[in-house]
Amino acid sequence: MYDRLKGFRDFYPGEMSARREVVDTVETAAARYGFREIGTPHLERTQMYVDKSGEEIVEELYAFEDKGGREVTLTPELTPTVARMVVAKQQALSKPIKWVSTRPFWRYEQVQQGRFREFYQTNADIFGSSEPEADAEILAFCADALTDLGLTADDFEFRVSHRDILGGLLRSFDADVDVADAVRAVDKSEKVEREEYLGLLSDAGLSYDQAGEFADLIERGDLDEIAEFGGDDVEAAVENLRNVLAAADDFGAGEFCEVSLSTARGLDYYTGVVFECFDSTGDVSRATFGGGRYDDLIESFGGQPTPAVGVGIGGATLQLLCQRAGVWPEEELATDYYLLTVGDTRAVASDIARDLRTAGNVVEVDVSGRSFGAQMSYADSVNADTVVIVGERDLENGEVTVKDMASGDQTTVPVDDFPGDRDAPTYEDYE
């Protein structure tokens, strides 16, 4: 026996049916907004991530040297890959570019609730628009995906912030501040005690008093006060945030959004509006997913300056939210018909099965030569709605037996009339 690797998961058919339903729902919502599906490699050059995040990132990667002597890694995120793809065909692609993808990623990190070493994520990105409507459309797509899953405004909230507000406020203090370090401190603010938070801001270059003033300012979240305190750059960022929220309101996502300037997103490439989705009840303690604007990344990959905004919806944390809210799909198999054969009836059963499958039904036929009782038990185990018994004696009379598995009721039906001109006949059709 071989043990499964830590941080990797097996998904059996019942679990996969629920996961597939959720992924299909999210991707269908994206398609309604015009996001086009892309496929991306699972292996990239390690240097692409080192250039973006520094040498220390290698410790978090599944990185190795391949047989050609190239330093490569299993992809830990999608954003660098799609940036590379945009740069490769930037002149030929119509703007805005709207892409979506659902696939696995890998990070060698500590396993914890909702966080695995192999994880699945749906990414949706818009390249080529700096307008507030692009940010708002990402929020609206996310809201639609969640409500399509059965969640409501009582279940989740989007905490929306702006990196330029935070950066502008930090630079407005009379101090030599490392803005990136200070923003990372803000990103940790809700996970640590206030004294530790202020200490992290002080380590980034603020005095202790300045750290306290900054922390209080963003905690109050009064945008008028913040704009006045921070000067022109902050005022412009506040206006942009307000414009995004106004557009989100027009797009139907406003009820799910609230300003939360302590939401910072730790990655350095974010440049404007950022947001995270949280369970409104607090039962799921970590962010379900997040995203934001990253206007400088395409240029840093050698492309023309191209504004961009996107979101990554993690499957594991989304599952935690849906399960908490009671809307996670049932983890069970679904079968429309089971064709139970008795005797030498394969040809007739196969004809019926083909007709039902052509109409789009899920149909199973015995392939193991089992007894009547064993076939019936199997039909029950795969949650068959209807069992069609194709037996030699019935066929002598030109009939098959149709059995409703929920009620146990059954009736005989002329074989030429099943399925007949019906796409999905049931016992009730022949009562």
Residues annotated within a binding site for L-histidine: 77-79, 107, 121, 125, 265, 269-270
Q: Which of 89, 78, 83, 74 is nearest to 43 (CA)?
A: 74
Beta bridge partners of 73: 44, 63
- Tokens standing for residue 89: 């065909």
Distance (Å, rounded) from C-alpha 65 to C-alpha 68? 8
Within 8 A by CB and 6+ apart from 358, the residues are none
Answer yes or no: are the C-beta atoms of 127 and 90 closer than 8 Å. no
Distance of CA 305 to the CA centre of its chain: 28
- Give the ranges where 222-364 is alpha helix by DSSP (H): 223-230, 232-250, 297-300, 315-325, 346-358
Answer yes or no: are the C-beta atoms of 363 and 388 closer than 8 Å. no
Which single residue is written with the structure tokens 């520094």? 54
Distance of CA 351 to the CA centre of its chain: 40
10 Å Cβ neighbour count for 329?
Answer: 16
Q: Which of 81, 19, 2 is nearest to 329 (CA)?
A: 19
Cis omega before residue 96 (within 30°)? Answer: yes
Beta bridge partners of 289: 277, 313
- In the three-class reduction of DSSP (H, G, I as helix; E, B as strand; rest coil), residue 272 is classed as coil
Distance (Å, rounded) from C-alpha 152 to C-alpha 15? 24
- Tokens standing for residue 352: 């019926």
- Tokens standing for residue 25: 């729902």
Q: Which of 74, 45, 85 is nearest to 297 (CA)?
A: 85
Answer yes or no: are the C-beta atoms of 170 and 341 closer than 8 Å. no
